[in-house]
A and B are shown apart, each in its own frame.
Chain A
Amino acid sequence: MNRTGLPDWLSDALPERAAAPTEIAEAARHQVETIGLPGLRDEEWRWTNLRAIQRGRFHAPSGVGADVEPSTRLPLDNPLRLRFVDGAFQGVPDDLPEGVAITALADADEATRAAAFSPKPAPSVENPNDALVTLNTAMAREGVVVDVAANAIVERPIVIEWLDGATESTMSHPRVLIRLGESASATLIEHVETVGEKPAWRNSVIVSSIAANAALTHIALGLDGESRLSTTRTFAALERDARYHSHNVQLGGRMIRREYDVHVGGTGAHTDLIGLMMPHGKQLLDTHTRITHAAADTTSNEHYRTIADDAGRGVFKGRILIEQDAQRIEAYQSSNNLILSDDAEIDAKPELEIYADDVSCSHGATIGRLDQEALFYLRTRGIALDEARGLLIAGFAQEVIDELPIPALRDWLTTRVEQRLNDRSLPVDSDA
């Protein structure tokens, strides 16, 4: 297939020196120049057009804006804040809790940097579907490394603040490495906000490794910012009895693409992938997840919901792969979607790829309007149509919000989602 290669502005921006070890960076650099950005003909991108990035002419930030503050305060108890402004890491905080070590990627030793650029499961440098990770590898200079020592139970949530668009049309390619030692536990929260008016594109990669019996909770909150473009890929590698709980909430942004690759590689390990996407306006909110069960006796549970309004588009793809000889697997996945407007669109692709026989796997996907019977029931109780619809939509979202492990955050998000729903002008349903 003919590929167009990288746009010139991006090709020109490839740095001489990147944070990745020289060999890895060189290979990545060579590859991205050949394959360019993924297009609609690449299977993983068939529903997500990168034209806005392709034509964006973004440039690296000039390094100002260190005093930017997010407009939203998350209701968290004494969080440990790691701030990125336009992809530039603003420094290691002073008051680190016991068992936590934080290093700027640029200051990390060679072995650590190698780890940050060798995720598991490894993406393919040649595969155009993985081109954005490869681009990140070639470009990344900024980033952070978080190490949690064995047996450390970190109570303070570690918050990464991605404050995009503070200066002009900028792009950034940050890389994050988080490693949990045996029996450690930590919570990582991504707080994503666009602070300026200009479009900004962030292409980030998060690599996490979770040692035996350790547990990582990873919450992503995509908040305000109609001009934000972001492409994020998260890798999680789990050892024996490890836990990875991901909660992905996407409310804002113009084009948001998140990918999760979870490698369930140790016996007894378990992962939960939970998500809520609410595209409205002309937003495109897209999540692709891939769970690989590479060891026997592992389990996974995935639950995604999308509510698409106006001309918004929601895209969900979830793949569960069970490797040969990974027996006694239970994997469950569901994708439920609501379309509230005739201009909205939902695309879903729940995939199962199974090479072992002693498994119990199922997935279910639904796309639908509001339950007409439930609506009727509420109206017979004297509740106005608009209000009844609002209740049902809020209830639909609430089931996902309820799975957030931090109660204060749960309440805060409930209010936030309700506000969003109240703001919309509800069209009167002719057949209701």
Chain B
Amino acid sequence: MTETQELEQLVKREYKYGFTTDIEQEIIPPGLDEDVVRMISAKKKEPEFMLEWRLSAFRHWQTMTEPEWAHVHYPRIDYQALSYYAAPKSQEELDAEAPESLDDVDPKLLETYEKLGIPLHERAALAGVKGANVAVDAVFDSVSVTTTFKEKLAEAGVIFCSFSEAVENHPELVKKYLGTVVPQGDNFFAALNSAVFSDGSFVYVPKGVKCPMELSTYFRINAKNTGQFERTLIIAEEGASVSYLEGCTAPQRDENQLHAAVVELVALDDAEIKYSTVQNWYPGDEEGKGGIYNFVTKRGECRGDRSKITWTQVEAGSAITWKYPSCVLKGDDSVGEFYSVAVGNNYQQIDSGTKMIHLGKRTRSTIVSKGISAGHAENAYRGLVHIGKTATDARNFTQCDSLLIGDRCGAHTFPYIEAKNASAQVEHEATTSKVSDDQMFYLRSRGLSEEDAMNMVVSGFCKDVFNELPMEFAVEAQALLAVSLEGSVG
């Protein structure tokens, strides 16, 4: 049995805590109607405008039908069978389920962490060890690290907090920007998220401020249990810049099968936002059973002139990924970038890509997408490049390459290109091939094992994207790729 399979079994075993329906006091019973939306809002003690906003989203959602155009297949989701709110568990409850210490965690899981190069102090937290925060604090003083971060950010004037805190402390900002990039009725899943979202992150970088550090969901204490409907809003004021990291390479446990997150980015004049994601949710077992459905709406708006938004993603997990981080290039001279590695093994299904909507003059966009399919996976790139009538001298370059490992997987490319301006310059290139026998032969003749040779070819294939990741992420991402593809050769 390969390590990947072992790992998957481990992860699967963890799920015995997950899909069962323990009746707890703080869980709203399954089902979704206006009362549930009201209850969520009340539980979160939200102001009136938020409730109204959620309700109008819910009413819109009721009129919508689930999209079927994506190249993915899954059994119908019964939205009335889901529970839409679970209060964060108390420490006692969490402790009751948690392993006593790292020694009690399955050694195989730890081995995977080791391979991924995850720092020691994060392993305990990831494995859900009882009192991990305390332990970490004892060793690495993480709480005070976090405090130092908070102080530093506050000094710079950067607001980085949970969405609930933002609603409470900065309602004017939330009111001004929420839903302005991804409107409530944008699509089925975004509407659902708008109605019932639990929590998420909020970032506000004031005018002229360069955020003094990379913001990572790691360091946010309340990052745990934000639930399946996460909402993120990042605003960079004039001349501000921020880099935000989401997710991590470690296999993540989660109790919910459906994830419908929404991320909104707003960049004003001369602002720059870099959003990096590494996603490794549970992908299901090797038969394709279980696994997370990851239906995410991510969109950034370059609202100001000369603004820039960069999406970088490494998508390795989830049974189904349905995700198109997009850029609306409204400001003149604004820039949108999308760098993606999507890897699917076993029965994973990925339909991902981007949209670049050019509206401003001299707007530029770059798309680099690398898809890798192994096993029985289906991996599709779906993208739109739209050059509007007003986008004089707009440019786009798109490169999407697919790599096939094995003869039972699929690799697909569905690019949409629309141009309504005579000065537009759009270039799209796509290739699909397998790892060439020549490359493998060369590397193996140099004494590399088949698996190592494959890993080397694959990391070379993804280099353009890894180069865009923040340093520590890049190293982990490479390791993640190797782990994800284990067992796919030989």
A residues near B (Cβ < 8 Å) are 1, 43, 47, 324-325, 327, 337, 339-342, 344-369
CB <8 Å contact, B389 and A325? no
Contact of A351 among B410, B414, B419 (CB under 8 A): B414
Instruction: Write out the residue numbers on chain A whose beta carbons fall within 8 Å of the beta carbon of B389.
Output: 342
Q: Which of A340, A360, A368 lies at the interface centre, i.e. has the most chain B CB atoms within 10 A of its CB?
A: A368
Question: Any chain A CB within 8 A of the CB of B69?
Answer: yes
Instruction: Write out the residue numbers on chain B whose beta carbons fall within 8 Å of the beta carbon of A369.
Output: 422-425
CB <8 Å contact, A359 and B433? yes
Q: How large is the interface on B (under 10, 10 to 19, 20 to 34, 35 or more residues)?
A: 35 or more
Q: A354-B412, A358-B434, A361-B433 are in contact. List 14 more A-B contacts (CB 8 A).
A: A325-B407, A345-B420, A347-B417, A349-B416, A350-B430, A356-B404, A357-B404, A364-B428, A365-B415, A365-B426, A366-B425, A366-B428, A367-B417, A368-B426
Question: Any chain A CB within 8 A of the CB of B432?
Answer: yes
B414-468 residues with Cβ-Cβ distance < 8 A to A are 414-434
Contact of A356 among B387, B407, B418 (CB under 8 A): B407
Contact of A324 among B408, B417, B423, B427 (CB under 8 A): B408
CB <8 Å contact, A355 and B410? yes
Question: Any chain A CB within 8 A of the CB of B402?
Answer: yes
CB <8 Å contact, A345 and B428? no
CB <8 Å contact, A357 and B69? no
Instruction: Write out the residue numbers on chain A whose beta carbons fall within 8 Å of the beta carbon of B423.
Output: 369
Question: Any chain A CB within 8 A of the CB of B247?
Answer: no
Smallest CB gap from B387: residue in A = A367
Contact of A339 among B404, B409, B424 (CB under 8 A): B424
Instruction: Write out the residue numbers on chain B whose beta carbons fall within 8 Å of the beta carbon of A357.
Output: 404-407, 409, 434
Rank and list the top 8 A-B pairs by shortest CB-CB distance, nearest first: A357-B404, A367-B426, A365-B428, A352-B413, A348-B417, A362-B431, A357-B434, A367-B419
Q: Which of A324, A337, A342 lies at the interface centre, i.e. has the most chain B CB atoms within 10 A of its CB?
A: A342
Tell me the bound Cα distance from A325 to B408 in angstroms. 8
B51-70 residues with Cβ-Cβ distance < 8 A to A are 65, 69
Question: Any chain A CB within 8 A of the CB of B482?
Answer: no
CB <8 Å contact, A353 and B412? yes
Question: Any chain A CB within 8 A of the CB of B250?
Answer: no
Contact of A353 among B408, B410, B426, B427 (CB under 8 A): B410
Instruction: Write out the residue numbers on chain B whose beta carbons fall within 8 Å of the beta carbon of A353.
Output: 410, 412-413
In the assembled complex, how far is the CB of residue B419 from the closest CB belonging to chain A, in whole angstroms?
4
Smallest CB gap from A41: residue in B = B69
Instruction: Write out the residue numbers on chain B whose beta carbons fall within 8 Å of the beta carbon of A363.
Output: 413, 428-430
Instruction: Write out the residue numbers on chain A whose beta carbons fall within 8 Å of the beta carbon of B413.
Output: 350-353, 363
CB <8 Å contact, B407 and A324? yes
CB <8 Å contact, A340 and B416? no
Tell me the bound Cα distance from A342 to B65 in angstroms. 36
CB <8 Å contact, B422 and A341? yes
Instruction: Write out the residue numbers on chain B whose beta carbons fall within 8 Å of the beta carbon of A325.
Output: 407
Q: Which of A344, A351, A354 lies at the interface centre, i.e. has the most chain B CB atoms within 10 A of its CB?
A: A354
Tell me the bound Cα distance from A354 to B408 in angstroms. 10
Mask: chain B, 371-409; 1 = CB below 8 Å from A; 0 = not:
000000000000000010100000000000010111111
Tell me the bound Cα distance from A367 to B386 in angstroms. 11
Question: Any chain A CB within 8 A of the CB of B411?
Answer: yes
Smallest CB gap from B385: residue in A = A367
Tell me the bound Cα distance from A164 to B488 in angstroms. 58
CB <8 Å contact, A1 and B65? yes
> Can you list 10 A-B pairs, Cβ within 8 angstroms, ordered by A?
A342-B389, A342-B420, A342-B421, A349-B415, A350-B413, A351-B415, A353-B410, A354-B412, A361-B431, A363-B428
Tell me the bound Cα distance from A325 to B69 in angstroms. 26
Instruction: Write out the residue numbers on chain A whose beta carbons fall within 8 Å of the beta carbon of B65.
Output: 1
Q: Which of A1, A327, A358 lies at the interface centre, i.e. has the most chain B CB atoms within 10 A of its CB?
A: A358
Instruction: Write out the residue numbers on chain A whose beta carbons fall within 8 Å of the beta carbon of B419.
Output: 337, 339, 345-347, 367
Instruction: Write out the residue numbers on chain B whose beta carbons fall within 8 Å of the beta carbon of A341.
Output: 422
Contact of A43 among B69, B407, B409 (CB under 8 A): B69
Instruction: Write out the residue numbers on chain A whose beta carbons fall within 8 Å of the beta carbon of B428.
Output: 348, 350, 363-366
Smallest CB gap from B429: residue in A = A364
Tell me the bound Cα distance from A341 to B409 in angstroms. 43
Instruction: Write out the residue numbers on chain B whose beta carbons fall within 8 Å of the beta carbon of A339.
Output: 419, 421-422, 424
Instruction: Write out the residue numbers on chain A whose beta carbons fall within 8 Å of the beta carbon of B407.
Output: 324-325, 327, 356-358
In the assembled complex, how far is the CB of residue B148 from the closest CB belonging to chain A, in whole angstroms?
50
Contact of A359 among B415, B420, B424, B432 (CB under 8 A): B432
Smallest CB gap from B401: residue in A = A362
Contact of B422 among A342, A352, A354 (CB under 8 A): A342
Tell me the bound Cα distance from A341 to B423 in angstroms. 9
CB <8 Å contact, B415 and A368? no
In the assembled complex, how far is the CB of residue A57 from the closest CB belonging to chain B, in whole angstroms?
31
Smallest CB gap from A346: residue in B = B419
Tell me the bound Cα distance from A347 to B420 in angstroms. 9
Tell me the bound Cα distance from A347 to B386 in angstroms. 9
CB <8 Å contact, B434 and A359? yes
CB <8 Å contact, B69 and A354? no
Tell me the bound Cα distance from A11 to B416 in angstroms. 34
CB <8 Å contact, A362 and B424? no
CB <8 Å contact, A362 and B402? no
Instruction: Write out the residue numbers on chain A whose beta carbons fall within 8 Å of the beta carbon of B434.
Output: 357-359
Tell me the bound Cα distance from A341 to B405 in angstroms. 45
Instruction: Write out the residue numbers on chain A whose beta carbons fall within 8 Å of the beta carbon of B405.
Output: 357
Tell me the bound Cα distance from A43 to B416 in angstroms. 11
Tell me the bound Cα distance from A354 to B433 in angstroms. 10
Instruction: Write out the residue numbers on chain A whose beta carbons fall within 8 Å of the beta carbon of B424.
Output: 339, 367-369
Tell me the bound Cα distance from A364 to B401 in angstroms. 12
Tell me the bound Cα distance from A344 to B408 in angstroms. 43
CB <8 Å contact, B429 and A362? yes
Instruction: Write out the residue numbers on chain A whose beta carbons fall within 8 Å of the beta carbon of B408.
Output: 324
In the assembled complex, how far is the CB of residue A48 from the closest CB belonging to chain B, in whole angstroms?
13
CB <8 Å contact, B417 and A354? no
Tell me the bound Cα distance from A388 to B69 in angstroms. 45
Tell me the bound Cα distance from A357 to B432 in angstroms. 9
Smallest CB gap from B437: residue in A = A358
CB <8 Å contact, A340 and B422? yes
Instruction: Write out the residue numbers on chain B whose beta carbons fall within 8 Å of the beta carbon of A348.
Output: 416-418, 428
Instruction: Write out the residue numbers on chain B whose beta carbons fall within 8 Å of the beta carbon of A365.
Output: 415, 417, 426-428
In the assembled complex, how far is the CB of residue B479 from the closest CB belonging to chain A, in whole angstroms?
25
In the assembled complex, how far is the CB of residue B360 from the closest CB belonging to chain A, in whole angstroms?
16
